[in-house]
Amino acid sequence: MNKTYFIISYIFIFLLILKPIVCVIVYDTSDDNAHGVRIAGNDQFIVYGMNLAMGFDITFAPFVPLTDCVYVNQSRDFYIYSLDVVFNNDNNTSDQLFTFVQISEQMSTQNVYFSIITGNKSLCINGTMSTVSIRDTLIWNGTHQEYMLLKVVPSQKYACVFADSFALMFDIVNNEIIELTDSYTFFSYPYPVVPHAIDVTDTYVIGVAYATSFVNPNIAIVIAFLCELQPFRAINYTTVYSNLFYQTVPLATTYNIANQMSIAINNERQMAVFGFPLFSVVLLFNINTTSTNTSQWNINLMRTDFGPPNSGFGQSVAWIDDKTVAILLYSINARSRSQSEVWTFAVDMPLQIPLSVFPNNQQILELVIYNFVILVPSQAPGYQSIWYDYGDFYTCIFQSAPCPSGTYKNETGYGVCTICPPQTKNPGNEPAIECSSCLSNSFCPLGSIDDVYTFFLFFSSICKSMIIYNEKPCPANVIPPSYFAPQRPLLIKQIIPLVINSTIQSIYKQDNERSIHLIIIILIPLLIIIITILLSRFVYRKFFVKQSLRTSSIPSISSNINTNQRNNCEHERNAKPYQISRLPSPHEDSLYKERQRHI
């Protein structure tokens, strides 16, 4: 019995020790991506929530020169999950007052609060604001939330919040709760539904979430849900049936950067773009809200587009206009010193070839380590946004600059200027809204700044016209690099949401016939030069070489004669000396004959 009592006591003590360890919640204040997006902006100001500093940083329009202010309150142990800005319609004070709303959790109690924060720009002294008006409303009591998403409707009157445990509609004007419902009741679903991204219009909400599967309670599936705002209720949802999107329930119901999602609505097109960076995929949904009977509203999957593998394609999505979307790639790793990029696409085509990429050759980014907000304002035709300044510790901005020589821009947007097509030029006119035609008897390559009249000036002209796109001197690279490719891209350690509110420019597509004509113009002079060189070599071999052979034969014969003479002399030196015999004299001959006669 004593042994049994000892074991029970040991287990009880062990549970007492273990319980506080299990219940401890760690709030990662150093991760500015954790649990939600804490940056929002409009044409009046941009606000960035800072959990590490227990405050926020706000940047005021017109943004150039940079005017920002920081508010810090260490006594508020509120962990900000999500925030959104409210447009100030009071013309008399619009330059002074600013208002934004946030949803946060008190770290000491796990109570959830909806806060309306209002400040006055005139109270910002030396970049610091000591006083703001904060109105906190208790929303949920003592339950920790992994995800809380907040959006202000376009009318600026209401805010919607979707969390693990509840769904909220809040009246910003009157500072009161309109509807607050637990998630099980709101979605009429027996298992947990954890929203990961939402977007709103004045009449409905679209969101994506992980929901526990009916078939296998250990697996969570991805659903897209549609909600009505008045009354605030869930209407319909569609399941993304693919093994690719399945996740285990523990991972789906707790914060994990790998499970981050994004969604953006275009109410005019009745479409929504959904990004799922874990698998580098973007889905396009059709929204049907035309019926007066809201129970018939629905959403349907239209298309699925895959980006580069393991790039985080779809980390954030946004509509530029009714035909163009911007997509953030979290980790493209395709350029030196680059990690994240924003690609734009024509939404009616498969998302395969981007219309533009940011950063790029003209919109370069200095090496940024600490800046969290990058502002790229939309510019009028003939102008583009270029790097301006580091700004401050939290913000860096772009400013307006005319299109460089050899380029043009004919519409409003944040994008770059377009290179002048062949047989057109721009010597640097401002504003460069179009390229002028070159003379008919001249040659103007892509991106020309002036006419070129002779073939021998061809490469020189290319160097002069293309040097604006390439830091390397000619002739290291006479072909202009694509202005899609970054020149000095940004090194991003964290996701940096970009404020994009403009119309993307159309990109010039070369005409095939003009390209063929350009090739012929280049090849014909080259062919003439090659033929001339070949003929010259033939004539040289045919006539000059033979004449040279005749001339060279004389010294050859003389050389042979000298050689023969040397050989004869050598033979004479080596021959034996002659033996000279004495011939008989006539007297001796007569004596000889007389002797013979006597004999």
Cβ atoms of residues 449 and 462 within 8 Å: no
pLDDT tens digits along 29-55: 777 667 777 888 888 888 988 888 888
182, pLDDT greater than 90: yes
Cβ atoms of residues 480 and 417 within 8 Å: no
Closest CA to 338 of 359, 363, 352: 359
Residue 271's CB: how many other CB atoms inside 10 A?
Answer: 21
289, pLDDT greater than 60: yes
DSSP character at residue 540: I
Quote the mean pLDDT of the chain. Answer: 76
Domain that holds residue 106: 29-187
Burial 148-167 (b: 16+ CB within 10 A, else e): bbbbbbeebebbbbbbbbbb
Give the pair of three-digit tokens for residue 554. 């004389």
Residue 210's CB: how many other CB atoms inside 10 A?
Answer: 26
CATH number at residue 147: 2.130.10.10
Cβ atoms of residues 520 and 367 within 8 Å: no
> Which amino acid type is present at position 45?
F
Residue 373 lies in a domain: no
Cis bond upstream, residue 62 (ω within 30): yes
Residue 428 lies in a domain: no
Residue 301 lies in a domain: no
Query: What is the rounded CA–CA span in Å between residue 345 and residue 355?
Result: 5
pLDDT tens digits along 243-278: 778 888 988 888 887 788 999 999 999 999 999 998
**List of residues 6+ apart from 302 with CB closer than 8 A:** 271, 284, 285, 286
Query: What is the rounded CA–CA span in Å between residue 432 and residue 227?
Result: 46
Number of domains in the chain: 1
> Which amino acid type is present at position 524?
I
Phi, psi of 97 (to 5 degrees): -90, 150
pLDDT tens digits along 64-100: 666 778 899 888 889 999 999 999 876 455 568 899 9
pLDDT at position 506 is: 34
**Structure confidence at residue 326 as a pLDDT band (50, 70, 90):** very high
Residue 327's CB: how many other CB atoms inside 10 A?
Answer: 26
Residue 15 lies in a domain: no
Cβ atoms of residues 322 and 346 within 8 Å: no
Residue 244 lies in a domain: no
489, pLDDT greater than 80: no
**What global pTM score does this model have?**
0.69
Residue 127's CB: how many other CB atoms inside 10 A?
Answer: 13
Cβ atoms of residues 330 and 353 within 8 Å: no
- Determine which of 142-156, 446-460, 552-566 has the lowest per-residue pLDDT on average: 552-566
Residue 554 lies in a domain: no
Cα 202–chain centre separation: 32
554, pLDDT greater than 50: no
Residue 227 lies in a domain: no
pLDDT tens digits along 417-465: 888 999 899 988 888 899 999 988 888 888 888 887 654 444 444 444 4
Query: What is the rounded CA–CA span in Å between residue 419 and residue 595?
Result: 133
pLDDT at position 485 is: 31
Residue 180 lies in a domain: yes
pLDDT tens digits along 505-532: 333 334 445 556 667 777 788 888 888 8
